Amino acid sequence: MSDLFEEKAHDWDMNTLVQQLSSGIGQSIKNNVALNDSMQVMDFGAGTGLISGHVAPSVNKITAVDISASMLEQLAEKAELQGKVSVACQDILEQPLADQFDLIISAMAMHHVEDTKALFNTFASHLKQGGQLALADLDKEDGTFHPADIEGVFHHGFDRDELESIVLAAGFNNIAFTTAHIVNKEEKQYPVFLLTAEK
């Protein structure tokens, strides 16, 4: 499996847009989920751990999942995440984790997964009964958010109603959407939602 983020990983955290996104999403998760210090959390598509960094002080343990080894290497070097965050470099749709979690968080990773229905079924199987989702991604957009020739982008954002139907079908309830952040990029606005739901 090729690492599409290998060249970007080293200076990923320096990107202003990435910083603003992770700050907005991290704050939105904290505002919409009752975090506690017993929680076992999965950060799906964890990248360099920017979202984990917002959540880690309030929970027990985070498993950072990503298919980019180079991004996870950056995460593993962060002193503030030592002892709190472990990494798993694997595709959990093909190779599930043995653990179950109280909460799955994710920021801007869902559009990199082709089969959204399979993704939510996988999330459900990794959650304890009563476990929660807090997932952020782009609202449906016209395809201009990413460069036209980019690899690994399967969705130009998501329609909230269509996504809610998929989440319901995977066995979740108490589904809610809130706008976590708005990306201002090249004179366009791209809203980013936070989806919360319960198994």
CATH architecture of 9-198: 3-Layer(aba) Sandwich (3.40)
When pLDDT is averaged across residues 104-108 and rounded to a whole number, the result is 96
Res. 17 pLDDT band, cuts 50 70 90: confident
Residues 6+ away with beta carbon under 8 Å from 179: 191, 192, 193, 194
Question: What's the confidence (pLDDT) of residue 62?
Answer: 97
- As a whole number of Å, the end-to-end CA separation of the chain is 31
pLDDT at residue 21 is higher than 90: no
Q: Which of 87, 64, 145 is nearest to 112 (CA)?
A: 145
The pTM of this model reads 0.91
Q: Cα–Cα distance between 136 and 28 in angstroms, integer? A: 9
Q: What angle in degrees, to the nearest 10, is found between the helix axes of 160-169 and 116-125?
A: 40
Q: What confidence tens digit (pLDDT) does each residue in 129-172 have?
A: 999 999 999 999 998 888 777 778 889 999 999 999 999 999 99
Strand partners, 86: 63
Res. 10 pLDDT band, cuts 50 70 90: low
User: Per-domain residue ranges for the chain?
Assistant: 9-198
Residue scoring higher pLDDT (12 or 51): 51
When pLDDT is averaged across residues 63-72 and rounded to a whole number, the result is 92
What mean pLDDT is reported for the chain?
A: 90
Q: Which helix (H) or strand (E) holds 169?
A: helix 160-169
Q: Which helix (H) or strand (E) holds 161?
A: helix 160-169
Strand partners, 132: 103, 198
- Measuring CA to CA, how many Å separate 75 from each of 38, 83, 123, 127, 196? 22, 12, 22, 23, 25
Residue 111 CA neighbour count, 13 Å, CB half? 21
DSSP string, 60-112: SEEEEEES-HHHHHHHHT-GGGTTTEEEEES-TTTS--S--EEEEEEES-GGG
